[in-house]
Amino acid sequence: MATAFRDVVAFRMSLAKIETHTPSRKGHAVIVAFSITPLGVGEGVAEPVARAVKVVRSSGLPNRTDAMFTTIEGEWDEVMDVIKRAVEAVAEVAPRVSLVLKADVRPGITDGMTSKVESLERHLSE
């Protein structure tokens, strides 16, 4: 488990470097679809993934989880903090964690998760 601990520490240090070098996006609305995959835990990953989803759901930010991704919406800093905490929750039980992110950064947009789908549905019904 010492190796897993070193890996978690190294991961947290790399996140700290990213946060240090990333310009502040305070006030910028962002929708992020992300996937956290625990590695080295065998085939059953539902329990470690549930740990991440609990962090997201307890954040109070708008979110949605499907079979492939969890999507969350809010200000840049608060969304990235939730994702960081979700990764850390999985890292507590997995020796390695894979993280995939896709972000839509749009200043001034709120409720984008819902409005983007509503716009698509309107076009589909025409």
pLDDT at 14: 56
Model-level pTM?
A: 0.74
pLDDT at 8: 57
Amino acid at 17: K
Closest C-alpha to 112, from 87, 86, 79, 83? 79
Four-way CATH pick for 2-124: 3.30.70.930, 3.40.50.10540, 3.30.930.10, 3.40.1260.10: 3.30.70.930
pLDDT at 21: 41
pLDDT at 68: 94
pLDDT in tens, the chain (126 residues): 455 556 655 655 555 554 444 444 456 789 999 999 999 998 889 999 999 999 999 999 999 999 999 999 999 999 999 999 999 999 999 999 999 999 999 887 778 888 888 888 999 998
- Please report which residue ranges of the chain form alpha helices under DSSP H: 2-21, 46-57, 76-91, 112-124
pLDDT at 24: 47
In angstroms, the CA 91 to CA 48 distance is 8
pLDDT at 77: 95
pLDDT at 22: 44
